[in-house]
Chains A and B, each alone.
Chain A
Amino acid sequence: MEDSWVAKEEGSAYTRGSMVRTKLQAAFPHLVRYGLLLLPLSVVLTFIVIPLVRTVWESFLAINARGLATGPAGLKNYRELFASHLFRLVLRNTLLYAVLSVILCLVIAFFLSLLLNQKRNFSSRPLLIGLFSPTVIPMIAAASVWQYFLAPRFGLVDRMLSFLGLGHENWLGHPGTALGVLVLLFVWKYAPYFTLFLLAGLQSIPPEVREALRTEDPHHLYSFRKVILPVIAPMISFVTVMSVVYALETVDPVYVLTQGGPNNGTNLIMYYLYNLGFNYFSWGMAAALSTLLMAGLSALSAFALITLERRTFHWQ
């Protein structure tokens, strides 16, 4: 598309004779800019935009197990997907997991941010390290920590239970408790991280306003609802969207801790997509699911981006 524009520019320059030189001179900086943009643009086009278009396109094609398109399929891939019992179970698991994780995470993050907000030098370093250690370690490492912790008979949790005479529990061996473990792991990993953002929102209240609130309304009954909440509302919506995205994209702990089991009780949507593409080789269904996920997740991230942009405009 850049080339066509340049060609047009040059063509008009030739017809106008004396303006050739000035026109070319004016076009040259543009050419340099397009030239510099060409490589990064083509990387994004090759690995994001074109695959995106192809995925949507292929979701309407019949595709064999070797990944070759054999003809148009209409909505067959989508129908097959929604007809699958496994997919319905996966949807149910994902919904339950996402709702529980997001609510727990947000409630804890909110109270934690209020706790940490009071005084600037309140928190000591060991405290911060303890609180944010899950934030800085990779999700896989966090899952390994919990795998070690919950190991049947050997792990600390089971050892404590048997010390108290409560017997053993294979936490990852039952669908209900396994999903619960995944939820707790998510909350443990991400609640402090989201606290940081809410804290940043709280601290964007100007000091003089905070001082005025302290003297005028010492119990924060009025100011909380009328000043603090409106100020961090955009941050709350941003954090909510981010946590929903993170919950929907959860795959690492599933891979390490449960491999979707037992009885597909922890088979979440990303893990299912991974299996569709790389273990079951159902490329058509995988393309359909990718399309749906893409629509949902990109709408969510776009929403998060817009709320944040609006927040910066609001405060400047």
Chain B
Amino acid sequence: MAMKKKVRAFLVSLVALLWGFPTLWVLYEAFFMRNRGVGFTWENFREAFSAAPFAQYFMNTLVIVLGLLLVQLIFGAVVGFILARYDFPLKSLITAVFIMQIVIPIYAVMIQDYQLLRSFHLLDTKAGIMLPYAVSGIAVLSFRQAFRSVPRELEEAARLDGYNTLGVFRRVYLPQSLPAAIAFAVISVTYHWTDFLWPLIVTNTASSRPVVVGLAMIGLSSEAAMQWNLLAAATAIVVLPLLVVFALSTRRILAAFVATFNW
């Protein structure tokens, strides 16, 4: 039995090493690869920051990701509440529209959405990147599920205490949906922070380009110019903040990843 445990531990460590190694190596080279010899240096990062406006890219990503999250949470909570607690004509049709948002991949309507943005004069803006995603069907469904599982007695008790519908929504329902909201936030932030093709199409200048698109540009140009240290540093700039956050709350993030799909 103990033997079996050791074999298992060895296998898991081996896989973890195999999977973690490539990223670790790039980080190492970004910090320690000099033109001559090996030693700690900021030179690669200085070069990467002067080659592309990474601060601006990060700012854009931050605005896009957090702005979207806020809008998606508000729409998700309101729509989820209405769908969970009330019956009204056309309800199933309306629900179907929100489910369509989940099921239809944006890639399939990408060209139409691009032309739409052009006619709105929203190309190369952060708002343009965000608009098609502003309402998330997954947010609607997870809030709906969370609100449904709130016991009716809780609402009735709050009403006896004199709360109106808005008060009940804020004081009774919203606190109960916090786990669902956090789980959704993890999925939304990961998705939009890593989203590539749509922002690539919409943006042409650094003013609204998210960091992922900026990294892809660096990758293409440094391959052409054989400036591999630039690529290593740029990759490290993108990856390091994520890995630090992940290292700080490993288990919570992993749990959130899975919990989101337990509607």
Contact = CB atoms under 8 A, between A and B. Distances in A.
Nearest to B72: A40
A141 interface: yes
A248 to B, nearest CB: 9
B243 A43 contact: no
A41 B235 contact: no
A140 B212 contact: yes
B132 to A, nearest CB: 4
B254 interface: yes
A46 to B, nearest CB: 7
Interface string B1-25: 0000100110111011101111111
B226 A154 contact: yes
A249 interface: yes
A130 B78 CA distance: 39
Which of A33, A46, A118 has its CB near the most chain B CB atoms (within 10 A)? A33
A128 B79 contact: no
Contacts of B218: 144
A143 interface: yes
Contacts of B98: 40, 44
A83 interface: no
Given A55-B112, A129-B243, A249-B105, A134 B219 contact: no
Given A36-B78, A43-B135, A154 B16 contact: no
A302 B243 contact: no
B70 interface: no
Nearest to B98: A44
B94 interface: yes
A24 interface: no
A134 B108 contact: no
Interface of B is mostly: helix
A48 B100 contact: yes
B103 A305 contact: yes
A29 B86 contact: yes
Contact of A132 (B8, B11, B78, B246): B246
A298 interface: yes
A136 interface: yes
A130 B104 contact: no
A197 B261 CA distance: 9
A267 B45 CA distance: 33
Interface stretch (B153-161, B172-180, B188-196): B188-196
A273 interface: yes
A312 to B, nearest CB: 6
Interface residues of B, number: 89
Given A133-B23, A134-B19, A298-B103, A128 B109 contact: no
Contacts of A75: none
A194 to B, nearest CB: 11
Contacts of B201: 274, 278
A2 B216 CA distance: 45
Nearest to A30: B88
A278 B202 CA distance: 11
B67 to A, nearest CB: 14
Nearest to A245: B105
B19 A141 contact: no
B125 interface: no
Contacts of B246: 129, 132-133, 136
Contacts of B215: 138, 140-141, 144
A44 B137 CA distance: 9
B51 interface: no
B145 to A, nearest CB: 9
Contacts of B15: 112, 115, 131
A5 interface: yes
Q: Residue among B12, B17, B134 with the most chain A CB within 10 A? A: B12
Contacts of B114: 277-278
A47 interface: yes
B257 interface: yes
Nearest to B237: A141
Given A131-B16, A136-B190, A277 B8 contact: no
Given A40-B78, A125-B247, A141-B238, 15 more contacts: A1-B90, A2-B90, A40-B98, A44-B137, A48-B132, A52-B112, A127-B16, A128-B16, A128-B251, A130-B16, A145-B26, A148-B235, A200-B262, A293-B105, A312-B262
6 contacts: A41-B97, A55-B112, A148-B228, A251-B197, A277-B110, A298-B105
